[in-house]
Structure 1
Amino acid sequence: MEDRLQMADGLVPQKIVSVHLQDCTLKALEDQASNKQAQALQQNPEPSAESKPEPDVMECIGRDDPEVLGAQPTLGTGDASGSEPAGEGDRGVGSVKHCPLHLSSCHECLELENSTIESVKFASAENIPDLPYDHSGSLEDVADDIRLEREWRRVNITGKAPNILFYVGSAPQKSLGRFQEVRSVLADCVDTDSYTLYHLSRESALRDPWSDNCLLLVIATQEAIPEDLSQKFMAYLSQGGKVLGLCSSFTFAGFRVTSKSVLEETVQNLVFSKADQTQVKLSVLSSGYVYEESPGERRTLGKLQGHLENGNKDRLIVQVPFGTRGGEAVLCQVHLELPPSSSVVQAQEDFDLLKSSNIRRYEVLREILTTLGLNCDIKHVPALTPLYLLPATEEIWDPLMRWLGKHVDPEGVIKSSKLSLKFLSSYTSEIEINPSALPVVTDVEAFSSENFNLDIYRQNLQTKRLGKVILFAEVTPTTMNLLDGLMFEIPQEMGLIAIAVRQTQGKGRGANAWLSPMGCALSTLLVSIPLRSQLGQRIPFVQHLMSLAVVEAVRSIAEYQDINLRVKWPNDIYYSDLMKLGGVLVNSTLLGETFYILIGCGFNVSNSNPTICINDLITEYNKQHRAELKPLRTDSLIARTVTVLEKLIDTFQDKGPDGVLPLYYKYWVHSGQRVRLGGLEGPEVWIVGLDDSGFLQVQEEDGEVVTVHPDGNSFDMLRNLIIPKQQ
């Protein structure tokens, strides 16, 4: 139907919305239209007073409708009352006033008109303002109540993104910072392309009709909620609204918030019960308040519950249903919204406990949001972008272009078993990009990126051969495949490296996936090692050297030597011995007398989630030592890591394992560590070092030192270690 509707100025309606008008309303409109048409046909029309419909015509709207004629509930107080409070527009029929029936006062006509304007606005380049509603007549208020009663769930008829609203207090300056703080953590849990996150001020909460387009109201302020505002929130709940309280004084349904100063801003152990009755145990930052039920009040609660792991089992999270239309709230007195790096957290041991529970904190948050009706399955995959071919030094560019000219096919393509690279002087949006066919732009002058600074990379790269030629992408499937068609042909002095900001199909050890959020340093480096060399005879050491290079790249910077970054055998980068923040994946191919090795590496630089990043460690170090170390960048650290790796390889080739093991042992997490062989019930042994091939050596109870290998599991290579059979 839309395509058959003719409109002026070439506008195209996007959607025609039907609105039901009752017979009495239609008759009144027809009579009014007939009167106006008759007046227009008069040759000398005289001004006449605006005609008014008969009272019985006006009152037929809603007549005999029990939802209108029935008694309305009284307005609640927002505390322990079990009755549902009504919205501010709830009135009896006796308050209906007679008013003219035309577009500025008829709710049904207004809805039709505004829906039409909204549809035209989507198709028009003009900025057509919204028509204001005329609130002068109370008939519209009654119609609003009818519509709300009939809609079990609120529907966003404008087509705008569903709204999550945040009330964070009344103080303007303080509330803005608090809003950003709480918004940030929820944005990590939901798809911001599917939900819109807004600040709800006190004035707006009292004045604006926000409840019709609000999927979730987040109340995150410890200040007392004023009575008029509490009534608004309770009215929203009574309409089927969902509320998340984060360390807020807001409560209802027989619950009260009780202060326990001994818990205030302390790290406690929480036991959280999920909807499926499973439990999650985690360390949390307590607000210093707990929930208690009023004497004599017993209500049916939801399945989400959280209590402290103490003798009193203090209740810190409750799920409270409300009313008959699906309203419910999850109220929390733990700081799920605060990161471990928050200024509230002062002690190093508290930071460690909270950071170790950070993944579980997000698990609890997502469970709560999912229970409240939000979708936390973030499925947005960023679009792939073209690659850029970039030189680390100016002098390598001409030889590179000559080599490239000899190796591409007539269409400028180099193919491999995994993908094809099409080299182009420029890129336009018409050129297709897919995981198996990627364009590579060779115009260095056209390159720019907010996430990778070529000059900073060049300044920090001090190598003879590694990392000299860069394949860079903002978004690519995985850097591990990008060098596949080039690695066996390109001269070794043109050391290749692939760098990406995001990966859509990142690879880990075995069948594991590698998460690739913004702020993670992602690269794959090509290294050629002669078979008949110290390292060529001990290829497992390559992964150890790369892990060590990442740690040394940070801790060798002046004043950064005490940043607690470490290596975990065989290929992980850790914060202390607590949390992983990076890893290494090595694929090697022996061709003739040379190992061609692709070293994939990813480590968290500025992305605090889902675990921890290097800049978190720097922030915490500054807090504990009153220092002012600056945060680090991914581009500089990738270049520094490649530089350190080349030096470590040269040292290993010259001196063998003894040349690098002292530095490796300085940074590894395993000194004196106990592990069990074969499983949880196996004999306990002590880790003492690496053997000549790079495998772990352990000391058994009888004092014998033996070499152990992983059992092949993809989760923890220190679990289920086995002693290899003697050949």
Structure 2
Amino acid sequence: MLFTPIYIAMTFIKTWRIRSFRARLLEFLNGNTSVAFCKVPENAAETPTLSSKLCTNPKNAYLCDLLDYTNATRICSMKPTQCIEISDWVSCAGGLPLGSSEQSPITDLNVDVLFECEMDPHENTGQDIIMLESMGQPVAWKAGSHLAIVLKTNIEHLSVIGFNFIGGEFVIDHCLPVVRIQTVQLSGEPNKASDPSMRSLRSDIQYSLKQPVGQFQWPVHAALLRKLSKVVDIKSDTKNTIQMNGSSGDLVLEAPPVKRTVTLADVSVNTGKSLSGEDIEKPEEAKPTEPADALEDKEVVVENVTVEIQHNITPKKSSLKLDLKKGTSQLSTSLLNISSQIKSVTTHKRIVSTTGPKRPQSQIDCYPVREETARGSTSQQSTPKSVKSSRPLVNTKSPNVLIYSDSLVARDNLEASLRKVLDCDRYTLYVVSRSALEAGAWRGRAALVAVAGCVGRAAPLLLAHLLAGGRLLALCSDLLHSVLPYYKTAEVRENEIVQFNYDKWNSVKMKHHIFCYQASPAKKQFSTESDRQPSKYTGHPGHELDIQVLASEETWRTPSLLQATDLTNSGIAIFSQIHLEADPSDYLGEEGIKSNEARLGIIHKILGDILGLHVKEPQELNQIDYTRGFFLGNHVHKLRLVETCPVSAGARLQQLGELTVQWCLRGEEPQQPPSATFLPVHVYECPEHFSTVEYFDNLTTTSLGRLVVYADVMSTTMHVTSALLAHGVGAVARRQAAGRGRAGNMWIAPPGQAAMSLQVWLTISPCLPLVQHAAALAAVRAIRSQPTYEHLDIRIKWPNDIYFGREVKIGGTITTANCIGEDVYVNIGTGVNISNSVPTTCVNDIITDHNRQHGASLAPMSIEKFLARYCSQLERILEYMATDGGIDAFLEQYYQYWLHTGEAIRVKSEADASPVDGTIKGLDEAGWLVVSTANGDVRVAPDGNTFDMMSGLVAPKL
């Protein structure tokens, strides 16, 4: 009787695990994605590729996520969806190839799956044999070195198939082991082998299948399968060539004759991917005699297009037209902004009309336009939307460096060490929690991920980051096991001090990791003691890792520093089995001073020379030289504000939050030098590095920005405007030492960035929540509302970022507010890269590139001019927002510049819930994002969520 409850419990657990597995599959099958399960035998001569070679676009596949892995199994997702053209495959009609029933008991067949089996049966050692028809409806097959079968099934059966596949040996009819299962997208119809030259072979195969078990001979049957498959392959002519004529080069595409609707969507440009042109399809509904002009007012949809561009192309502007009569089409730079050799072009599935929506007469036109905006007409409405691209998992221009450790001491030491070496004008260092690391929202936005100690469930994400071309620094971490499973724990070393040599540093003494890792000598490829360390690792499908031991400790010769480089996407990981994060002086005393100098030098070389980050010399001082401030503006208005401050001990001191300001009139000396908490402001002097003439000549406001506190270096401009001063008072810094971003994020503010805070006094009104969006709009319009500057692709990413195109952030805003009765005091901070090319790019670089590409002569923009125009735009926007109909007018203008109209997005309402698909509609009256889903509209708050908008995900902030 005891076995019954145990059996019930085991059945329940298995069912629960399959359901959990199904939920994960559903999540990763959403969108343009394929999922693959593949076997990786330990002594395999060749590592399985990421996608099956039978697909039409395997070289275009890149790894998205490594879902799970064991020593012999891999489960991964990849983009784009892998396609199979089955016109040269053999139909499964008549029980071919394995004698399966033509009818499957499974219903709702909505998933296409490829099975690849070994052609040599395994001896039945007791494992269950799964019949083909029990998994789905067989469609087509092909035989060669392996037997490939595609069948239709549903997600429930795919979950069971995948769960059993990773659980051990997976064997189907005739004891054939399955080595790969992969979701695919099918096109074409299989060959029924009805040609006279094929009928006899098909009959022989069917006759073979009817033989009794004792008389059935698999080698004979396999030979017949191969022969028929070969004949069908030779007879099938599936290629169809389409010529695409551009203005500067020819595009040659090969496409199977598939009858599917072709849709033109936002085009993304991916470099570095191999190409094939086998995914372009001819519109089914377009008649051959239909003129090209007739297509101009129709929606044209293109899905998963991959083309190879053979020449440098910089075509003039035109529209994309398909000439069905001539079989040609013309590409335009309004959709494909191509100026160099581009490897591939891939579209998303969002539909964009070729004519664009007709806009009503702008409501903004009814508001008075000041001289500042009347000097030239703008044409924003005619500016094309930014081209949507598939953001790569690794953004090489990202300024973020992530730090994680399961030890608080190791975390603090690692952060301190990186701050001493990295150029902090280029990178922002973030310490992340375990839950944030495991959530993965950082992927694609990290120049470096540095970890120390145990990484837990985040290991697959970090591995995927590496395989996508990312940079990893792992100190005394179990991540080594996930990246290089060959490395095993050899022994335990408790607080042992070791000596090692690396580059120019000899006999460096440092503390070793508690575990000692080395390559397992049991592996057959390590035949001698000298070659126990492997030079290659091929256990990750589609990737080959080059392994170099950079340094070994002197006694046991186990690796101290190890480098793993992905030869596919050039990702690099550095593993240290010594505590590089800790100062040796802490445990070696004076003896450790020399080792600490070597430690910083080693980190400097690793980060700079190997990982390719921007570093500074370790001996450089981190002391920040704060500077005095200057009060700019109308003299009468300045004195009116200063004289409200009481005089104490001969000084006018005012406490502005964390900052103490001393207003210095003629002959008054500062009580102390400038610092992070003390700012002397001179009322009667002008700064050297800020042109007051250019600033006030371009300022058209009545209040905003008319009084400004300027300093070359201050902690943050937000401190100056954090306490009550006067409506419109601003603060400007040439450089901020502790700039602030939204939600407590740090903000890099190097010289060349326009950094300003404004104090704005408002009353409680419906438009109050939209102030942060108004600031973002003002920053964009400060540039693009100028005549001839309107075509610069500078836009708003909700809720508060300024972007160039869809990939490069060049600015942002932050707003805070305090209420006193009916009055609201809003502190608006804005930073935009004007002339600093790092850490991403800047407005003047964008202008230079625009001039080069279009033969234009736009003048560069100064910080003073931008700030003056920004204040002018913001004041005007706030004024008309407060009038009747002003919010509608504001939103109309806001949508002209933002990035998200009609975009597909996934909204994750809870940390453990699956994302819900939806489409962005716009903003509501409170500035929240409105997303249309199958269950109705969802509103997303601008705070408390993580926005990975460019990859289409909004999730709760952890």
Q: TM-score, normalised by structure 1?
A: 0.48
Q: TM-score, normalised by structure 2?
A: 0.37
